[in-house]
Copies of this chain bind each other. A is one copy, B any other.
Amino acid sequence: MNPTPSTPQVITHVAELQRRVHAARQVGRVVGLVPTMGALHEGHLSLIDASTAECGLTVVTIFVNPTQFGPNEDFAAYPRDLQHDLSLLAGRGEVLVFAPDTATVYGARHATSIEVVGPALPLEGEFRPGHFRGVATVVLKLFLLVRPDRAYFGRKDYQQTLVVRRMTDDLHLPIHIEVCPTVREPDGLAMSSRNVYLSPEERQRALAISQSLLMAKHLIAGGTLDAATVTARMRERLTAADLKIDYVALADPDTLEGVATLDRPTVALIAARVGQTRLIDNERIV
């Protein structure tokens, strides 16, 4: 820990990043990576705190990755405020911020992407074609640029954590993937950089998402083990709050294959739109 809450240093060039990471390794430090798109909130900060607790150097990347946004998605509107992000990182231990521009990550003749099937195919894979290709590509790039020992991801993006783990195993990368719990607002809304898009009225309606996950747990505790019944009740709850549902899925936590009877490990996953804002959330319900 720094004795004084100083703002972390921002690095934009690969050579300088690698010099710093190499220097940390030379003195035996474990290197942690927290990949972010900025617009930091308590969820990101929990990942950073987990990393600084376990690693002698934490590299926080801030890069709004264009390749993981669809053509009609919110790449241009995505919130960007580096100075505010940096102020949130002040005093949080040995943190280095890597904030490259797009040309540093994707050169002019860039032609390579990473395709993951398996856990990347359903749910977000169906509703956001190309999304996980963009995620896997930028995560691999950051893994290869930083070469961390450990990397931290939020459980809120549950399917993403499966995709990243799959890719890491498949490519024999010696990186430990750490998945940290979803951080929620006091009323249950999962922290997300996209929550800033919500009007006060939409913010209220969005609570139906976390509430329907809670409801699923209660139904199961009460003996309802039929997945179709639980899913129908969750959809009713979401629709009653005027949310547009992309999916409500009760699925195997490893494969994301649908579960019919809730007598085995199950994760509930939701994607829904509140006005123009698309939100996702999930909970382990069995």
Chain B residues near A169 (CB, 8 Å)?
107, 109
Given contacts A109-B166, A112-B170, 12 further A-B contacts (CB under 8 A): A14-B172, A109-B118, A111-B116, A111-B120, A112-B116, A112-B136, A113-B115, A113-B117, A114-B114, A141-B171, A144-B171, A144-B173
Q: Does A167 contact B (CB under 8 A)?
A: yes
Chain B residues near A114 (CB, 8 Å)?
112-115
C-alpha spacing A173/B172, complex, angstroms: 15
Does B166 contact A111, Cβ atoms closer than 8 Å?
yes
Interface residues of A in 143-172 (CB under 8 A from B): 144-145, 166-167, 169-172
Which are the 3 A-B pairs with shortest beta-carbon distances?
Answer: A111-B118, A112-B170, A111-B117
Q: Does A110 contact B (CB under 8 A)?
A: yes
Chain B residues near A113 (CB, 8 Å)?
114-115, 117
Contact among B112, B115, B172 with A171 in the assembled complex (CB-CB below 8 Å): B112
C-alpha spacing A249/B193, complex, angstroms: 50
Contact among B112, B166, B172 with A115 in the assembled complex (CB-CB below 8 Å): B112
Q: Does A119 contact B (CB under 8 A)?
A: yes
Chain B residues near A106 (CB, 8 Å)?
170
| Chain B nearest CB, measured from A194 CB (Å) | 28
C-alpha spacing A172/B107, complex, angstroms: 10
Closest to A171 in B: B144
Chain B residues near A140 (CB, 8 Å)?
171
A117, A140, A145 pick with most chain B CB within 10 angstroms = A140
Closest to A119 in B: B111
| Chain B nearest CB, measured from A169 CB (Å) | 7
A112, A119, A170 pick with most chain B CB within 10 angstroms = A112
C-alpha spacing A166/B169, complex, angstroms: 23
C-alpha spacing A118/B167, complex, angstroms: 23
Closest to A255 in B: B109
